[in-house]
Amino acid sequence: MEKPITRIAVLKNPVQNYPWGSKSFIPQLLGNPFPAETPQAELWMGVHPNGPSMVSGAGTWMPLQDMIENDPEGVLGTAVAKKFSNALPFLFKILAADRPLSVQAHPNRTQAREGFARENALHVPLTSAQRGYKDENHKPEILCALRPFWLLKGFRKISEILDFMDYAGIPALGAPLRKGPGEEGLRAFFSTLMTMGKDEQQRTVREAVKAAQSRSQADSALDWVSKLDQIFPGDIGVLAPLFLNVLCLEPGESVFLRAGELHAYLEGAGVELMANSDNVLRGGLTSKHVDIPELLRIVNFTSEQSRVLRPEPQENGEVLYVTPAEEFALSVISLNGHSSFKSSQNRSVEMVICVEGKGRITDLGRGDQLLFERGTAMIIPADVQQYEIQGKTMIYKAATPF
Tell me: pLDDT of 2 over 60.
no
Q: Are residues 261 and 394 in the same domain?
A: no
Geometric angle at alpha carbon 149, from 144 and 152, rounded to 5°: 95
Tell me: pLDDT of 336 over 60.
yes
Q: Quote the CA–CA distance of 278 and 270 in Å, as a whole number.
A: 18
Residue 69: predicted pLDDT: 94
Instruction: Spot the catalytic one: 7, 131, 156, 282.
Output: 282
Give the domain CATH number at 79: 2.60.120.10
For residue 30, is it within any domain? yes
For 102-135, b/e burial (b = at least 16 CB within 10 A) is bbbbbbbeebbbebbeebeeeeeeeeeeebbbbb
Tell me: pLDDT of 349 over 90.
yes
Instruction: Establish whether 310 is a catalytic residue.
Output: no
For residue 229, is it within any domain? yes
Residue 307: predicted pLDDT: 87
In one-letter notation, the amino acid at residue 316 is N
Q: In this structure, are residues 26 and 43 in contact, taking their beta carbons and an 8 Å threshold? A: yes
Q: Quote the CA–CA distance of 277 and 271 in Å, as a whole number.
A: 16
In one-letter notation, the amino acid at residue 121 is A
Q: In this structure, are residues 26 and 67 in contact, taking their beta carbons and an 8 Å threshold? A: no
At 75, the pLDDT band (50, 70, 90 cuts) reads very high
Q: Quote the CA–CA distance of 71 and 125 in Å, as a whole number.
A: 31
Q: In this structure, are residues 13 and 53 in contact, taking their beta carbons and an 8 Å threshold? A: yes
C-alpha 262, offset from chain centre: 13
Residue 217: predicted pLDDT: 66
For residue 300, is it within any domain? no
Tell me: pLDDT of 22 over 60.
yes
Q: Quote the CA–CA distance of 281 and 260 in Å, as a whole number.
A: 10
Tell me: pLDDT of 352 over 70.
yes
Residue 373: predicted pLDDT: 98
Q: How many C-beta atoms lie closer than 10 Å to residue 380's C-beta? A: 22
Residue 30: domain span: 14-151+249-290
Tell me: pLDDT of 94 over 50.
yes
Number of structural domains the chain divides into: 3
For residue 297, is it within any domain? no
Tell me: pLDDT of 96 over 90.
yes
For residue 187, is it within any domain? yes
Q: Are residues 265 and 354 in the same domain?
A: no
Q: Are residues 143 and 279 in the same domain?
A: yes
Tell me: pLDDT of 3 over 60.
no
For residue 307, is it within any domain? no
Residue 18: predicted pLDDT: 94
Q: Are residues 169 and 218 in the same domain?
A: yes
Span 195-242, pLDDT tens digits? 999 999 999 999 999 998 887 666 899 999 999 999 999 999 999 999
Q: What's the whole-number mean pLDDT along residues 139-147?
A: 96
Q: Quote the CA–CA distance of 5 and 175 in Å, as a whole number.
A: 59
Q: Are residues 136 and 200 in the same domain?
A: no
Residue 215: predicted pLDDT: 76
Q: How many C-beta atoms lie closer than 10 Å to residue 162's C-beta? A: 20
Q: Quote the CA–CA distance of 342 and 387 in Å, as a whole number.
A: 6
For residue 304, is it within any domain? no
Give the domain CATH number at 187: 1.10.441.10
Q: Are residues 29 and 123 in the same domain?
A: yes
For residue 299, is it within any domain? no
Q: In this structure, are residues 27 and 38 in contact, taking their beta carbons and an 8 Å threshold? A: no
φ, ψ at 249 (rounded to 5°): -85, 135
More confident residue, 333 or 211: 333
Q: Are residues 142 and 272 in the same domain?
A: yes
Q: Are residues 358 and 265 in the same domain?
A: no
Residue 304: predicted pLDDT: 84
Q: In this structure, are residues 309 and 142 in contact, taking their beta carbons and an 8 Å threshold? A: yes
Q: Are residues 91 and 232 in the same domain?
A: no
Span 240-274, pLDDT tens digits? 999 999 999 999 999 999 999 999 999 999 999 99
Q: Quote the CA–CA distance of 188 and 174 in Å, as a whole number.
A: 10
Tell me: pLDDT of 4 over 50.
no
Q: Are residues 186 and 220 in the same domain?
A: yes
Residue 1: predicted pLDDT: 38
Looking at the chain, the whole-number percentage of residues with pLDDT higher than 90 is 83
Span 148-198, pLDDT tens digits? 999 999 999 999 999 999 988 899 999 999 998 889 999 999 999 999 999
Residue 276: predicted pLDDT: 87
Q: Are residues 87 and 39 in the same domain?
A: yes
Residue 132: predicted pLDDT: 87
